[in-house]
Structure 1
Amino acid sequence: MLFAAPFFLLLARQSGGAANLERRDWTWILALGLLGYYLSSLFDFFSLLTISAALERMTLFLYPTLVLLLSTLFLKKRYPLHVWGAVLLSYLGVALAFAHDLAESTLAADAWKGLGWVLASTFTYALYLIGTGEVVGRIGATRMAALGTLVACIAVLVHFSVTEPVASILHLPWQVYAIGLAMGVFSTALPVWCLSQAIRLLGAGRTASVGTLGLALTLLMSWGFLGEALSLEQVAGAALVVLGVTLANRQKGSR
């Protein structure tokens, strides 16, 4: 986040910065920055301590279904019954994959704890998507992404300074700084900008649907680079999640 911050400062300046923003706009920026870029990431990292990357990504990709649920509860939107059938399909896929992790885990309680963390991450990310869809037209996609992530950058740095000795960041191998720079640019700044543009052009629902491609990539990369097992249950579960999320977003027919 330290490496990513200068890119977001530049992006914020180019997109208008703080000009013409009202108090309610800053409230939204603060809330969405903490939800979507800080808490969601923090909970996600906690989950990876005890569950596989494949299950983590599979569960995280339930966020489009949570967008539907939360939109129904709080925005009073209504969707046909077959959409909820697609949602159920997605959750069955996660249950199938979780059964594999539960069988592989030496500590079942840790697996349940990991699942709880990633569900918390999914929930906060769904709230972020709904909120962004509501305010991005007024604030602007690029400015919302830049300012929201700057809020998260500050939150992460404050969190680090409270939990770790600040001087420890100065004595790391150069490879760590190189990886941090690459992650700051290619895994943080660029994806955040791309996501904000996708929400602006496609809407939150369709953006989530297209993003399910990341699930297949994570399955393959966790198997190829992390050496995680790739079982038939995981593949079948991932297929159900992708199918359910895609059907839910396509059938609800809204942006």
Structure 2
Amino acid sequence: MADSSSSSARRQLLIGLAIAICGAVLFSAKAIVAKLIYRYDVDAVTLIAFRMLFSLPFFAAIALWQARQSPPLTARERGQIVLLGLLGYYLSSFLDFLGLQYITAGLERLILFLTPSFVLLISVFLLKKKISMLEWMALAISYAGTVLVFVHDARLGGANVALGSAFVLGAALSYAWYLLLSGELLKRVGTMRLVAYAMCVSSVVCILQFFLLRPAAMLVQPMAVYGLSAFNAFFCTVLPVFLTMIAVQRIGAPTASQAGMIGPVSILFLAAWILGEPITGIQIAGTVLVLCGIYLLSKKKT
């Protein structure tokens, strides 16, 4: 009986890990899709507008479903959700796609993967949280890996690499603030409801931004742009969000987070396969350092 129970638990763990890995790879793949769309002379404002335009129906449907079975939000909660939608999804995504115009998909993923360390640093300097030697070591290793890849890419791409990296760094910082500010609200509102509502806010803002900054004629694009945007919306935005949530429910947030470390590795090889971006020893070394640093952070005692 015990063996049967152990086998069942093991199977559930493996299924949860597989779901978490799929979510991490799909979410990371948005950088690859963005690079492919940029080949059609589409800018970041238009790219993100198409992404959110195709995503909005899914998140709106989930938001309506959640609204029908949940208690009404307070005015304060509504305001917080709007702020989180602007900060965590609109601003972060916009800066990320701006950066992808100038840097490789591999470097973008490494910089975004520093988000947990930014959460930690903000907690240290603003919330006066104490940090252990293990955490300092983890931060040093992660940043060393990112700097290694940045210097490598800067030699090839020049000043544009610095500009693109700055945009993606801003995206990571923006998302770190989102994670910090969403903690208490998640407990009151629920993960699925919060994500659906915040993504609806972000989608509307991205679409409005497009019509304010670009002529409506730019909605007319080659069919490939529509196809890639639809893929980006469903497979790299909607699906990974809910796959990650399912994985967290099955195996817990810490284990799901560790499984997500496959993201930078998958992008390194996907970028080489699909985009023809080179894989060098320095890039692999930098990626390994970042993963080691994040792994150390994930092992810290709470």
TM-score (normalised: structure 1)? 0.90
- Decide which of 237, 262, 272 is 1:223's aligned counterpart: 272
For 1:5, give the aligned amino acid. L
Per-residue CA distance 1:76-99 (angstroms, 9 max, x = gap): 432311211111100000011111
2:234 aligned to which of 185, 201, 204:
185
The residue aligned with 1:14 is: 65
User: What does residue 283 of structure 2 align with?
Assistant: 234
Change (3 A) 1:26 1:206: farther
CA distance in 2, matches of 1:143, 1:177: 28
User: For 1:149, what is the secondary structure of its paired residue?
Assistant: helix
Alignment size in residue pairs:
249
Aligned to 2:205: 155
Question: Residue 16 of structure 1: SS of its match in structure 2?
Answer: helix
Cα pair 1:223 1:230 within 8 Å, conserved = yes
Deviation, 1:67, is 1.2
- Counterpart of 1:81 (choices 109, 133, 156) is 133
1:197 and 1:15, CA in 2 relative to 1: closer, same or farther beyond 3 A?
farther
Give, in whole Å, the separation in 2 of the partners of 1:121 and 1:248: 20
Structure 2 match to 1:96: 148
The structural deviation recorded for 1:16 is 2.3
- CA distance in 2: counterparts of 1:208 and 1:69, whole angstroms: 18
For normalisation by structure 2, the TM-score amounts to: 0.77
Distance, in Å, in 1 between the alignment partners of 2:297 and 2:199 is 29
Q: Partner of 2:56 in structure 1? A: 5
Give the stretch that moved more between structures: 182-191 or 241-250. 182-191
Percent identity, please. Answer: 35
Within 2, Cα distance between the matches of 1:237 and 1:11? 39
The answer to whether the aligner puts 1:28 opposite 2:80 as a matched pair is yes
Q: Output aligned runs, 1:65-214, within 5 Å.
A: 65-105=117-157, 108-169=158-219, 171-196=220-245, 202-203=252-253, 208-214=257-263
Q: Deviations over 1:35-61 (max 9, x none)?
A: 121111111111112211111111110
CA distance in 2, matches of 1:196, 1:132: 15
CA distance in 1, matches of 2:188, 2:144: 38
Say which is worse superposed, 176-185 or 137-146, in terms of deviation. Answer: 176-185
Unaligned segments of structure 1, at least 5 residues = none
Could you tell me which residue of structure 2 aligns to residue 245 of structure 1? 294
**Secondary structure of the residue that 1:2 maps to in structure 2?**
helix
Amino acid in structure 2 at the alignment position of 1:147: Y
Residue 156 of structure 1 aligns to which amino acid in structure 2? C
Closer, same or farther in 2 for the Cα pair 1:129/1:217, shift >3 Å? same
Deviation at 1:113, TM superposition (A): 1.1
